[in-house]
Amino acid sequence: MNAANVQWDYIPTHSTFKYAEEISSPRSVEDYGKERYPATPWHFPWLVSEISSGGAGLGLVEQRMREELLKYDFGYKKISFKVPIQMIDDLDIFTNFRYQDPFGLSWTKEGEKGRYYYISSLTYDFQDRSIEVVGIDLQYLIGQYLIIGDCDALPNDWTLGSEHNRIYAAVSDCTTGRFSNGDPGKRVGPCTTV
């Protein structure tokens, strides 16, 4: 999804929200050619109107929504697998890991090469002596932020970079914010003309 209706500043005595707004992710809307909404509005009852200097709380709500839409606007990739119960002390919520599966599906037929994920839930089954792990794609999320990498280790051409390489900063076109192949890019701050 790349757009959502959000409601905030909950009034318990009337069971209603004081403010509502529609917020979207313009780049994702442009790429998909349409807006895709969740089934129900997103609620932020703990945010109140006094939080933002804008007077209606939209500043903080909009910031929070941008973070949420960033997770969803190009897909929300989840994986689920079981591990032995003996790993109970090694796993925790929000632990980051790389998932590798040589027999996994991939358009290059090379399998799942080790994308970064974080653990969103753990379900313990003591009778089966297993733990079900649900992981959420972290590779896509951290690919949206500017992380400085080793200049010598990164390829000169973005199209030659692996998904692991694309986590790190590689400067995109200043005007479009994209690389030569059309992929969304990363750059430091606003562009200035000299």
31 and 51 together in one domain: yes
Res 190: pLDDT: 53
**Distance from C-alpha of 97 to C-alpha of 61, rounded to nearest angstrom:** 30
Three-state secondary-structure class, residue 169: coil
Task: Write out the H or E segment, with its range, that includes residue 3.
Answer: strand 3-11
State the total domains in the chain.
2
pLDDT tens for residues 108-137? Answer: 676 677 778 889 899 999 999 999 999 988
- 62, part of any domain: yes
57 and 86 together in one domain: no
- 161, part of any domain: no
Q: Which domain holds residue 95?
A: 78-141
Res 107: pLDDT: 67
18 and 63 together in one domain: yes
Work out the average pLDDT over 24-49.
Answer: 82
| Location of structure tokens 């753990």 | 122
Res 189: pLDDT: 56
pLDDT tens for residues 75-99? Answer: 667 889 999 999 999 999 888 888 8
Token pair, residue 73, equals: 């606007």
Average pLDDT, the chain: 78
Query: What count of residues does the chain have?
Result: 194
- 11, part of any domain: yes
100 and 60 together in one domain: no
pLDDT tops 60 at residue 56: no
**Distance from C-alpha of 28 to C-alpha of 93, rounded to nearest angstrom:** 29
List the beta bridge partners of residue 78. 136
Mean pLDDT lowest among 15-29, 46-60, 109-123? 46-60
Instruction: Pick the last residue of a domain from 72, 106, 125.
Output: 72
Q: Which residues contact 176 (CB under 8 A, 6 or more apart)?
A: none
pLDDT tops 90 at residue 24: no
Please name which of 11, 72, 1, 76 lies closest in space to residue 46, comparing C-alpha atoms.
Answer: 11
8 and 62 together in one domain: yes
DSSP codes, 87-116: GGGT--TT-EEEEEETTS--TTSS-EEEEE
Token pair, residue 164, equals: 């692991």
Question: Which of 10-19, 50-59, 99-108, 184-193 reaches the highest mean pLDDT?
Answer: 10-19
Res 98: pLDDT: 84
Bridging pattern class, strands 78-84 and 42-44:
unpaired
